[in-house]
């Protein structure tokens, strides 16, 4: 609705996100506000991984990673697929990948002094 052209002719003040859309966005951002979950999501935007691989990559205990992945999955940010006995996790779609990448690009500008751009 917001990245698309406004075909209705309504102004931004008239065409606002619905309460359901706002709540869904708040929940997604809430899930990403945890450092461990953001690190996991960064990895999951780049490929599929099992719990053990993710735990080793971010230096966190496997049970903790499993709990974080369960929350991310319930929030609709992560999807899974079975590969034999392993469960592989990945970012759900291109919207989730873009959200994570943009948050980290923004952070890079904040901490590195890279000039801002539009």
Q: How does pLDDT run across 60-112, given as a tens digit for each residue? A: 999 999 999 999 999 999 999 999 999 999 999 999 999 999 999 999 999 99
What are phi and psi for residue 94, nearest 5 degrees? -65, -30
Question: pTM (2 decimals)?
Answer: 0.85
pLDDT at residue 13 above 90?
Answer: no
pLDDT at residue 6 above 60?
Answer: no
Lowest mean pLDDT among 10-19, 22-31, 59-68: 10-19
Count of CB atoms situated within 10 Å of the CB of 97: 17
CB 37 within 8 A of CB 71: yes
């Amino acid at each position: 609705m917001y990245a698309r052209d406004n075909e209705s002719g309504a102004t931004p003040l008239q065409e606002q996100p619905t309460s359901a859309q706002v709540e869904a966005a708040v929940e997604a951002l809430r899930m990403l506000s945890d450092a461990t979950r953001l690190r996991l999501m960064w990895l999951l935007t780049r490929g599929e991984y099992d719990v053990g691989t993710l735990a080793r990559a971010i230096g966190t205990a496997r049970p903790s990673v499993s709990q974080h992945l369960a929350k991310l999955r319930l929030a609709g940010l992560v999807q899974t697929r079975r590969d034999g006995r392993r469960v592989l996790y990945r970012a759900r779609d291109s919207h989730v990948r873009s959200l994570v990448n943009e948050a980290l690009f923004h952070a890079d500008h904040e901490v590195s002094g890279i000039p801002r751009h539009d």
